[in-house]
Structure 1
């Protein structure tokens, strides 16, 4: 975000009619729209904020088919063919990005590097051995190693050659420019809030404008329209990220991840003349979990202890949606859907999976269905594989939803107890409100009830947001929607408990 210019596409001002409407302007939406426009269709993107500025604007940008320890899981759960299809689809996505970079001459820092998943020293290497065997059988150039370019010891690791990393926003802004040059339309600051699955389909924007389309793609990260109850099979997860300038001689020359230590991910990126930016991700937590500042301190300390870091240039957080069977949902939205498609649940590997999704959705809409369509079909049912994660995620949501209503959830006795720069849930005239006091001392109060399914939000002290622990919706301190699935803001409340006339 810091190294690219802003966008200024218009908001939707009136009714429009297109072949395909794409809801969401992140990497999945932009790539899908570009593919469809290139195929000769009339396409429009509708983005609630600015394109490539949400989750996509704050990614660590690994473009790789090496997704942790996924191949051993795929082979044991779904068979060797599923693992091969997964590998082929992800490798196809990486190659496709490289082809487009060359075709459009995009300057996006595309680098080919190995990707590693490692375990700490003294760990049982059996998991890595199984992953190397499964990944190799699936067609990846994988090997087992015990030494890497990291400045600390590891145990066993899987190394996969010729993976990639890039600057996704530069890449996507180039696609956006080419898309509009080919006749595609992009509407920003246009929130879609309604969907009628007729023939044709009709979308309704927050302003009341109507979009008529033969086909609709929902690419909003977490689906804002969830007629397949995908929320029961998706679990939002947040991770913190810190970045610091390092000497190029300290570059570990690869992309690294470990599930140990509450996840650690390491890579570098070009950063000015002769420098590299170290990017470290970790400290996984559910949205709405307290103690984010402590987690950030843990991550910065971990990084400083292992790398020669003088100061941190950036910190942020990334949000992912994890599926109960560890495979993304890409395809028709629900069993009865004929013209509405979805792309979601990228399991923290959104770069390659989003490009894969764009290729798959374009094939489904155009009639050239890729061989891996069934693997990613959102209508699939794997009760044996999914049962444990499904029950765990939904019991946690149910406990939160019910528990918030039967036990005290106030975090401050009154708004006067809230210090500047902090927020808390307080009772005002009997209602639980989300109260934030800004640095100037002014109080901002909104309803504490998430407008998605009614869970109570919690304050994120690092990002200064209200986060929903049930399905990951995030709101500004003024109640505005930052991230779905919620499409409506938190209701404004006056400090005296009256509902405000503000919207």
Structure 2
């Protein structure tokens, strides 16, 4: 099929499209205010996505006093922009684990993820929340016959690891595939509806949740001390234990950023007639990743959700063109579509494809981290919450070692991925400081566009708004100083080194940066 055949006809009027469907259909509700003054709790959890709220829920159920500190709104960040597949089938992970860490590690991974899938279902039932939970099968597929050997190996490895996996050639997609790995008993849901109910459950158990509360400092000790910043004030939070669940760690005492690579993917959505709409969840690594699922709509139709076109933040080129390619692919395979939503999601891949969940660094006694879910944060975040709750309350888990951020053996085995990540970051650190032969000028900036320009010997991030006004900021990411780049489609400045993102006024949209880009004069 020609993914570009209809490119000119599927470029919707993006100005009239909604953003994330999950945010659009589950409003945020009343703001949960920042702490009014110094606060002391058993556990402070930084981040109110699925990993943070799952951790807080498990700890509150064990009788611990918990405070969740969220820089924005509950489930409005990465979790609010996911595709919300709840699955233990993670593309081609099991054959890789079997080869790199052995069959036992693959079995532990499968068990931990499968238990997380069941745990979400049980928790949703206990909370009495209607979160559009649908049990279905998950598929990793390929259209290219040359990839079927890898799929057969994955099906065998996943089956050996304990999953109900099979190699198949038939699916409920409206186009043929060469082959697929199928795992039954998986699920899809509305993540924001689930997490808003989970947040209410945490509060009923005595926990507190504070939105618009950005954590800017961590001093480890007994207790640990956090410094926070909110629109109106700043305060401190003392906690026996701290969990950093900010997707990309805002505190990196173990240099985890050297083992994480950020990846951004685009999402488009359009209604389908329920009759004939696929009910399975699908993903392929072909065509720069294509992920497909549908969700139930109030009017009886189903919403087709297509994800793909992954790229490193700040290195995506023409992101509008990427959106158009994704729309063209969906139209080629599903017929005429009227796109209603588009958004983007961001993930972090670890160098060995296994999340980093456990103590924050080798010397840590009271600080923990959950990161590196590689696009599978729904099951991974719940797994992390259960694992960290066990560790914080003095228990152990069969998969402590599998996910331990301090593991070194797997880093050695995955040396090529580790070195590639460091080379990419080093390229930006060095290349950003060299003069460019083709730098744009202020005069060339169209309304809505932005670019990094050299002004008076300094690099500045300059954006021209739709009214023609210019806005200049420091072009150095406040995390570690890499040069940001402009994403016109999302109107954001992005750091290609570690994935920090800023709005056109410089405010932090996504970490690990915690400080804004400073304004500059032109």
CA shift in 2, pair 1:346/1:383, >3 Å? closer
Task: Say if 2:416 is the partner of 1:385.
Answer: no
Q: Map of 1:126-205 to 2, 5 A cutoff?
A: 126-205=149-228
Task: Say if 2:372 is the partner of 1:345.
Answer: yes
Does the 8 A contact of 2:260 with 2:372 survive in 1? yes
Match of 1:398 in 2: 426
Does the 8 A contact of 2:370 with 2:384 survive in 1? yes
Distance in 2 (alpha carbons) for counterparts of 1:91 and 1:429: 57
- 3-state DSSP of counterpart to 1:82: helix
Greater shift in the superposed pair: 186-195 or 303-312 = 303-312
Match of 1:475 in 2: 502
Does the 8 A contact of 1:245 with 1:309 survive in 2? no
1:141-186 Cα shifts (integer Å, max 9, x gaps): 0011011111111111100001000001000000111111111001
Distance in 2 (alpha carbons) for counterparts of 1:64 and 1:171: 16
Q: Map of 1:415-434 to 2, 5 A cutoff?
A: 415-434=442-461
1:246-301 Cα shifts (integer Å, max 9, x gaps): 11123112000001111000000011121100000011110011121111111111
Does the 8 A contact of 2:351 with 2:411 survive in 1? no
Match of 1:15 in 2: 38
Greater shift in the superposed pair: 363-372 or 14-23 = 363-372
What is the root-mean-square deviation in Å for CA atoms of aligned residues? 1.1
Does the 8 A contact of 2:59 with 2:389 survive in 1? yes
Which of the numbers 294, 313, 326 marks the counterpart of 1:299? 326
Which of the numbers 292, 300, 307 marks the counterpart of 1:281? 307
Match of 2:246 in 1: 220
Q: Map of 1:3-402 to 2, 5 A cutoff?
A: 3-7=25-29, 8-206=31-229, 207-289=233-315, 290-381=317-408, 382-402=410-430
Match of 1:500 in 2: none
- 3-state DSSP of counterpart to 2:145: coil
Distance in 2 (alpha carbons) for counterparts of 1:176 and 1:195: 24
Which of the numbers 446, 454, 461 marks the counterpart of 2:488? 461
Does the 8 A contact of 2:352 with 2:411 survive in 1? no
CA shift in 2, pair 1:49/1:409, >3 Å? farther
In the TM superposition, residue 411 of structure 1 has moved relative to its aligned partner by 4.2
1:42-66 Cα shifts (integer Å, max 9, x gaps): 0000001111100111110000000
Q: Map of 1:474-493 to 2, 5 A cutoff?
A: 474-493=501-520
- 3-state DSSP of counterpart to 1:489: coil
In the TM superposition, residue 308 of structure 1 has moved relative to its aligned partner by 2.6
1:307-347 Cα shifts (integer Å, max 9, x gaps): 13331011111100000000000000000000000000001
- 3-state DSSP of counterpart to 1:249: coil
CA shift in 2, pair 1:5/1:124, >3 Å? closer
By relative contact order (CA 8 Å, sep 6+), the higher-ranking structure is: 2
CA shift in 2, pair 1:367/1:77, >3 Å? same
Distance in 1 (alpha carbons) for counterparts of 2:210 and 2:336: 41
Q: Which aligned segments of 4 or more residues in structure 1 are displaced greater than 3 angstroms?
A: none
Unaligned 5+ runs, structure 2: 1-22
In the TM superposition, residue 409 of structure 1 has moved relative to its aligned partner by 7.7
In the TM superposition, residue 494 of structure 1 has moved relative to its aligned partner by 2.0
- 3-state DSSP of counterpart to 2:432: helix
Distance in 1 (alpha carbons) for counterparts of 2:336 and 2:253: 48
Distance in 1 (alpha carbons) for counterparts of 2:89 and 2:194: 21
Distance in 2 (alpha carbons) for counterparts of 1:124 and 1:477: 42
Distance in 2 (alpha carbons) for counterparts of 1:282 and 1:121: 17
